[in-house]
Amino acid sequence: NAGVTQTPKFQVLKTGQSMTLQCAQDMNHNSMYWYRQDPGMGLRLIYYSASEGTTDKGEVPNGYNVSRLNKREFSLRLESAAPSQTSVYFCASRRRASGGAADTQYFGPGTRLTVL
């Protein structure tokens, strides 16, 4: 049981380049999330997917797109990278607990992205 996996672990891009960050979970969770973490700003939600086939914007969606490919996979795409997108990106997933109680989020190890 690998939990939440992310690829790549590190990436350096030039301004204007595009790339896709991959995330997969093997826990059969319904919900998946993309966050970015910046010094002094904390963790901020970029996009989330409450279930397969649905995606919604979070707090900082500009400059990003997402795809919920299937229940396991949720990718984040930067179409034209900018230096302001230099950050650490975390993917997370969450199970919908029975009876309406919320369950915790499980996080991947992160992707450290630098845009020059």
Closer of 19 and 43 to another protein (Cβ): 43
Binding of another protein at residue 50 (CB under 8 A)? Answer: yes
Closer residue to another protein in complex, CB, 14/104: 104
Query: Can residue 90 be called a binding residue for another protein (CB under 8 A)?
Result: yes
Q: Is there binding between residue 56 and another protein (CB under 8 A)?
A: yes
Number of residues that bind another protein (CB under 8 A): 25
CB of 43 to another protein, least distance (A): 4
Q: Does 106 bind another protein (CB under 8 A)?
A: yes
Near another protein by CB under 8 A, which window of 18-26, 61-69, 71-79, 107-115? Answer: 107-115
CA distance 6 to 108: 6
DSSP readout, 13-25?
Answer: E-TT--EEEEEEE
When asked if residue 43 is in the footprint of another protein (CB under 8 A), the reply is: yes
CA gap 95, 32 in Å, rounded: 9
Among 1, 2, 28, 42, binds another protein (CB under 8 A): 42
CA dihedral 43, 47, 51, 54 (to 10 degrees): 170
Cβ(18)–Cβ(79) below 8 Å: yes
**CA-wise closest residue to 52 among 35, 28, 34, 36:** 28
